Amino acid sequence: MTAKQGRGVFVREPQRLFRFGSDRYSIANRETGLTPFRLEAKKQGKVPRIDVLSITREVPPSDVAERLQVPADSESVVHRENHYFADDEPVQIVSTYLRWEEAEGTLLMQAKSGPNGIYGRLEELGHVMTRVRDEISARMPSPEEARVLDLLPGMPVLEVLHTSLDQNSEPFEVSRYVHRADQTGLLYELPVS
């Protein structure tokens, strides 16, 4: 239940939005022209919305610098901060980091980066995604994350630290996804060899 000052108490139906981990970056899905989140929401009967809060040149967090292989002591990345909604409910905060030297002066610096989102622009720069690495953990949210995601006290978040690797096994994008744990599911189907 959720209490809203002056409006009453409401029961929040837990309808999870699944992140299709092993399928979300497939060639077939990229050919739709939709970003992974928009396609996942659409497949699950939800209306997606992405609010781009900022696009700034920054000093990267140390874990991002390590994965992206950039200096951790200079403004070596572009940080795109987005808030994601499904049916107007906040579901995730996404912090995407790209190399400054590649993003400077491109559509990657714009809120609307064109068909297939930033992955389309990164492919144009020569980075064809062939592998991803997702590091998943559960934790308690920061006060700002709890506010943005409209979390009840004591509700955890799922964090996915995502690294995109190209045809040369080089990392070219790192994103930190902070999901509402009560409205998110992770679905992976992987071959077993």
Model pLDDT for residues 39-98, shown as the tens digit of each residue: 777 877 888 888 999 999 999 999 999 999 999 999 999 999 999 898 888 999 999 999
**Phi/psi at 130 (nearest 5 deg)?**
-120, -15
Largest CA distance in the chain: 57
Element (H, E) at 109: none
3 state SS of 53: strand
Model pLDDT for residues 96-145, shown as the tens digit of each residue: 999 999 999 999 999 888 777 788 899 999 999 899 899 999 999 999 99
Give the CB-side neighbour count of residue 128, counting CA atoms within 13 A: 4
